[in-house]
Chains A and B, each alone.
Chain A
Amino acid sequence: MSTLDHQDTGPGNTGPGNTVPDNPYDLLGDDHDDGHRWAFGTGFTDPLAGIDTSVPAGVDAAALARYCLALGDDALIYSHRLQQWVTRMPELEEETAIANIALDLLGQARMLLARAGGILGRTEDELAFFRDEKDFRNVALAEYADQDFAELVARLLIFASWRLALFEELAGRGSSAGAADPVLAAIAAKAVNELAYHRDYAAQWVVRLGDGTDRSHRRMQDGLEAVWPLTGELWRPDADALAELSPGAVDAVLDTVLAAAGLDRPAAAPLAAVGGRAGRDGVHTEAMGYILAELQSVARAHPDATW
């Protein structure tokens, strides 16, 4: 059996003098218990390993799990939608941007699902791959299928502005003391810096297209109009919420961007809830079934597969 010195075969390190096994497939059958693995990224562990995940006194554990699930599902489903854009972007720079934003959101989803799962007694993978549509709590904005680049950046601007403002509150960087759960507060604090990059990326494109040619302006306005009805759901009252966020904070950001872009704030009425129920209640748009089919089919076909 060839020896693989982990230090010498890290990705990107292909300089001379490396120990390269004769046949990389030999490593597949190797003993994985000694810290070696046959490929980069094949191991997944609890993203909250070693973190004190006890629920503080005074915090309703069931409500905390529901809330983390909601915020985690927003990120998981949104990330999946962005991943579907990869290889379809107009330029390589946008390709890497969208892939990076999707990766950040996936990381946030993993930590939030792990936080919920720790309380519910389920792993993050079980929550992502073995829940049915009615048990997903994401808002409809996360599951919407962008029809073009204008819709993509319009939706990302709204989502990232909302999530950034909410996470600033959860992290205690807004007008409140932050989430009563320190794990959620720490996840939010970490995400804030990432979301600021996402929001500004989307804002800059909205301004560039809105303030561009007649055609780009018209299509950017159309993109905004298309996704705007989905914003109403963001402000539905949530009894589980661990931070208060007023629409004014997000509106101020959006209005600033729209003014710079020369775009009109859409007047479209919000998408109606179904019998008073929406995404947080497990009631989704038609798009959701297709997303879950793609997201979950491999895991469900091979439920006991290990890497």
Chain B
Amino acid sequence: MVSAAYDVAAATPDPELPMLTITDLGILRAVDETAAGVTVTITPTYSGCPAMREISADITHRLDRAGFGHVTVKTQLAPPWTSDWITADGRRKLAAAGIAPPSPAPRRSGPVPLTLTFSPHSGPAAPGCPHCGSPRTRRTAEFSATACKSLYRCDECGEPFEAVKPL
């Protein structure tokens, strides 16, 4: 749904990745504008995402400032967020900020298969280096400074970088 309220809510930045809006990240699920007020629906990336409160307060503040009254921010859990919802714009902004965008998330039916060995090239398809563009990169750790990222290093230019985890 596209409305004036949607445009205002959609421009809210993510507190941990401020170069991206919540629309870029696929966190904004709906904006419903009625005579009674505006209801914004967002979904967390990870269960423990500490940014939800920030985002919610920021959306309310922005809509308030833009003249919309009675703002309600709702959480939606299902379907769960996937990194596939990061938009093309979002991916471009991530790369420009030195963070590799995620490879496609694994789609499964049935139990999650076990990945037994950690090797720099196991797991999801390695992202290209956001600094020099080389495809020769290695994963150094599955987890990084925020819940949504892994750590990589480029074999070409030697720079370490973060990549958004496919989820």
Mask, B55-74, CB within 8 Å of A = 1, is: 01110110010000000111
| Complex contact A253–B143 (CB within 8 A) | no
B100 at the interface (CB under 8 A from A): no
Does A68 touch B at the CB level, under 8 Å? no
Question: Residues 76-103 of chain A: 1 if any B CB is under 8 Å from the residue's CB, otherwise 0?
Answer: 0000000000000000010011011101
Asked whether any CB of chain B lies closer than 8 Å to the CB of A194, the reply is: yes
* Residues in chain B near residue A47, CB distance under 8 A: 52, 75
Which B residues from 16 to 60 make CB contacts under 8 A with A? 16-18, 39, 41, 44, 46-50, 52-54, 56-58, 60
Q: Report yes or no: B61 in contact with A34, Cβ–Cβ below 8 A.
A: yes
Q: Give the distance to chain B from A172, nearest Cβ to Cβ, in Å.
A: 11
- B50 is contacted by which of A36, A41, A96, A101 (Cβ under 8 Å)? A41
State whether the Cβ of A201 lies closer than 8 Å to any Cβ in chain B: yes
How many chain B residues touch the partner (CB < 8 A)?
51
The A1-42 residues at the B interface (CB cut-off 8 A) are 6-7, 10-13, 34-37, 40-41
Q: Across the two chains, which residue of chain A brings its CB closest to B50?
A: A41
- Residues in chain A near residue B54, CB distance under 8 A: 10, 37, 40-41, 43
Q: Closest CB of chain B to A208's CB: distance in Å?
A: 7
Known: A50-B72, A104-B147, A186-B78. A194 touches B47 (CB 8 A): yes
Whether A191 and B47, one on each chain, are in contact in the complex, defined by CB atoms closer than 8 angstroms, is: yes
| Contact, CB under 8 Å: B50 / A45 | no
How far is B114's CA from A200's CA once the two chains are assembled, in angstroms? 6
With both chains docked as a complex, state the minimum distance between the C-beta of B13 and any C-beta of chain A, in angstroms.
Answer: 6
Asked whether, in the complex, the Cβ of A260 is within 8 Å of the Cβ of B116, the reply is yes
* Residue from A49, A185, A249 in contact with B111 in the complex, judged by beta carbons closer than 8 Å: A249
Given contacts A13-B18, A204-B116, contact A190 B47 (CB under 8 A): yes
A104-B47, A168-B112, A260-B116 are known contacts. Are A50 and B143 too (CB-CB below 8 A)?
no
Task: Find out whether the CB atom of A203 lies under 8 angstroms from the CB atom of B18.
Answer: no
Q: Which of A55-63, A105-113, A133-141, A271-279 contacts B (4 or more CB under 8 A)?
A: A105-113
Q: A residues within 8 A CB of B58? A: 6-7, 35
The residue from A35, A50, A103, A110 contacting B60, defined by CB atoms under 8 A apart: A35
Q: Which residues of B contact A193 (CB under 8 A)?
A: 80, 167
Report the contact-size class of chain A (Cβ under 8 Å from the partner).
35 or more
Within 8 A of A (CB), among B111-158: 111-112, 114-118, 140-145, 147, 151
Residue B15 CB within 8 A of the other chain: yes
Q: Encode A274-305 as 1/0 by CB contact (under 8 A) with B.
A: 00000000000000000000000000000000
Cβ-defined contact, A11 with B16, below 8 A: yes
Shortest beta-carbon distance, B25 to chain A, in Å? 14
Which A residues between 157 and 202 are near B, CB-CB below 8 angstroms? 164-165, 168, 173-174, 182-183, 185-187, 189-194, 196-197, 199-201
Q: CB of A207 within 8 A of chain B?
A: yes
Given A10-B15, A201-B143: A185 in contact with B151 (beta carbons within 8 A)? no
> Which of the listed residues B73, B114, B144, B151 has the most CB atoms from chain A within 10 Å of its own CB?
B114
Contacts of B167 in A (CB 8 A): 193-194
Contact across chains for A106 and B48 when beta carbons are under 8 A apart: yes
Residue B2 at the A interface, CB < 8 A? no
Taking a contact as CB atoms under 8 Å apart, the answer to whether A208 and B77 are in contact is no
Determine if A11 and B15 form an interchain contact, defined as CB atoms under 8 angstroms apart.
Answer: yes
Are B73 and A49 neighbours in the complex by a CB distance under 8 Å? yes
Closest to B119 in A: A204
Does A54 have its Cβ within 8 Å of any Cβ on chain B? no
Other than A34-B64, A35-B60, A187-B47, give 20 A-B pairs with Cβ distance below 8 A: A7-B13, A7-B18, A10-B18, A35-B58, A40-B50, A50-B73, A51-B76, A93-B140, A93-B143, A96-B141, A103-B50, A103-B147, A107-B48, A107-B49, A110-B48, A173-B111, A189-B80, A190-B47, A194-B167, A257-B114
Give chain B's interface residues, CB within 8 Å of chain A.
13, 15-18, 39, 41, 44, 46-50, 52-54, 56-58, 60-61, 64, 72-81, 109-112, 114-118, 140-145, 147, 151, 165, 167
- In the A-B complex, the 5 residue pairs with the smallest Cβ-Cβ separation, listed nearest first, are A50-B74, A107-B48, A35-B61, A107-B47, A93-B141
